[in-house]
A = this chain, B = another copy of it.
Amino acid sequence: WYLLLNNSVSTMNSAVHSFRFDELIKYVDDHQEEYVQTLREWVAVESDSSDVTKRAELYRMMDMVGEKLRKMGGKVELVDIGEEQLPDGSSLALPKVVTAQFGSDVNKPTVCVYGHVDVQPAQKEDGWATEPYNLTEINGNLYGRGASDNKAPVLAWIHAVEAFKALDMDLPVNVKYLIEGMEETGSNGLDAMIKSQKSTFFSDVDYIIISDCGWLSKRPALTYGTRGNCYFFAEVEGPKQDLHSGVYGGTVIEPMTDLIGILDTLISPSGTILIPGIRDAVAPFSDEEWKMYQDIEFDVESYREKIGVEQLMYNNKVELLAHRWRHPTVSIHGINGAFSAPGTKTVIPAKVTGKFSIRQVPDMDPAVVEKQVTDHLHSVFAKRKSPNKLKVKMIIGAKPWLADIKHSLYEAGKAAVKRVFNVDADMIREGGTIPIARTFQDVTEKSIIMLPIGGFDDGLHSQNEKMSR
């Protein structure tokens, strides 16, 4: 993987080091076991950022990252990003962000690699075949929590520089690292840190690389877009308190009936968004895009089987991918305040909050979406003539991100994939939101490439997460 760095850089920099390419290859092959061992040590740290009782492990993880980079001769800092407030009112220090720098030659471009070393929760009882924090190799796959998301990709970029250093080869670019420990719970504190270091750490950064994503199939891929996310709360409030449905049912217009009624106006049975105006802003699907989608390696039938549904929303590859990546969609996630447990409680909930989100795509504007959704819901609610009260609020308004795939960064990425795998990279998007990409773009105004290292079947956030050796 370090070849990608070398290669992508080589297309931007006339000082091509290809004469020592074979030497690098050999070095990596000779040290593969060491790389796996380092990954094993990192996976053994239960750096679960969602569990405050494991915070000491997370601090230790950040120290290990700093130590690793320091040993390689980097200029390392552990940046204090403050505290988080816990629900009980107490506060807890956030894990420091590790920054590192290798080289400061003003004649070279500077590449910054972003990654994270915190992980999702994992317990063997959840259905793991192996101990989640004990990296275990089975048939060439390395199983362990965080193996693919995102510890191995971070180590791949670190070991790339390490190989250059070990061979005493001049790095063709200046390399910086920004490694955080709160990604899985929303990168708490990172936005502020990026903003505050805009004119210091980021001042000489030209390019940002993110490998916190995955391939779409067995073919290597480059990711050039993510969808945004407008997350809404629609609250309907009626009686002062929950009422017994036997005693009071039939005398009040129930908030739950109103909420169900307005949620039912968001999306048609076949999946068309019914909110007036929402689709008007969506960038037209060009012939060029159609052709590109057509070339992507993606098996609709396997996808259907993996999800386990009888039929997908679209059966055609291009339409399916387009609705996954570059068309908006509405998902209703649930209702807060109503009875949600098993059993048969007979209550009329007094206040219920419907939660739904719209995955946003270029050229939709969250502020416009907020107005369209709010106006629509108030309009359909008004027609019900309900005595209850409706409040609509957009809780998250994360913008989509889209890169120019003709930018030299993507040309370098394509060339690197071609060189290593001898196939053309699939140019893909993510249906989900990676807010950090958008923050990097908005704050630093640098170009970003997402270069996935994880496989399509790595099981991120699931049981039996793995990284192929």
Report which A residues bind B (CB closer than 8 A): 227, 229, 231, 238-241, 243-254, 256-258, 260-261, 263-264, 267, 269-271, 303, 307-314, 320, 323-324, 327-336, 338-342, 344-349, 355, 357, 359, 383-388, 395-396, 430-433, 461
In the assembled complex, the CB of A395 is this many whole angstroms from the nearest CB of chain B, namely: 6
Which of chain B's residues have a CB closer than 8 A to the CB of A269? Answer: 253, 257-258, 261, 383-386
Q: In the docked arrangement, what's the CA distance between A461 and B245, Å?
A: 14
Q: In the docked arrangement, what's the CA distance between A43 and B468, Å?
A: 66
CB-based contact B332/A243 at 8 Å: no
Which of chain B's residues have a CB closer than 8 A to the CB of A431? Answer: 246-251
Which of chain B's residues have a CB closer than 8 A to the CB of A342? Answer: 336
CB-based contact B248/A227 at 8 Å: no
In the assembled complex, the CB of A414 is this many whole angstroms from the nearest CB of chain B, namely: 24
CB-based contact B329/A334 at 8 Å: no
CB-based contact B256/A334 at 8 Å: yes
Contact of A260 among B263, B270, B346 (CB under 8 A): B263
Which of chain B's residues have a CB closer than 8 A to the CB of A430? Answer: 246-247
13 further A-B pairs in the complex, CB-CB below 8 A; given A250-B327, A250-B431, A257-B330: A229-B246, A229-B346, A240-B308, A246-B430, A247-B432, A249-B324, A252-B312, A256-B334, A260-B264, A264-B264, A269-B384, A333-B346, A345-B355
CB-based contact B359/A331 at 8 Å: no
CB-based contact A271/B245 at 8 Å: no
Q: List 7 A-B contacts (CB under 8 A).
A: A238-B309, A239-B309, A246-B359, A248-B324, A260-B263, A261-B264, A338-B340
